[in-house]
Amino acid sequence: MRGEAQLLLWIAGVHVLGFVCVGVLMIPALRDSDDSAGGSDGGSDDGWGNLPVAPPKPGRWPGGGIPLPDAVQSRVRMREPGRLYDRLARPQRRPAREPSRRPVRALRSSSGSPRRCESGR
């Protein structure tokens, strides 16, 4: 067999295998079954299918009770609508810094090394 014919045979075989698999998977989906509704009540519907979810039962812990001895009271209690930022005290501003000293210029000597210029020269 030549290479082209063999490749064509392989492609056709893979497609046939795929169609067989799809057919096998479609058979259960297309079968007409009255029992697919599930339940033993015979399909009666009393209209109570959308009940609200019951609230979870309260657990034993953590209980309400008094605060623990190591608990710290918050700085602000928010009982009315508002922003926490408005209730907190403003932090003090830092004082302005003193201006830094002006640098002293260094003069170059004839040898090329920097020399300090003193106030009298």
Q: Stretch 24-44: mean pLDDT, rounded? A: 69
Q: Stretch 74-81: mean pLDDT, rounded? A: 80
pLDDT for 50-61, tens place per residue?
Answer: 777 778 777 666
Which residue would you say has higher pLDDT here, 53 or 30? 30
φ, ψ of residue 54 to 5 degrees: the values are -65, 140
Beta-bridged to residue 106, according to DSSP, are 116
pLDDT value of position 115: 59
pLDDT for 86-101, tens place per residue?
Answer: 888 888 888 888 878 8
> Residue ranges of the domains in the chain?
1-27
In this prediction the pTM is: 0.28
Q: CA end-to-end span of the chain, whole Å?
A: 106
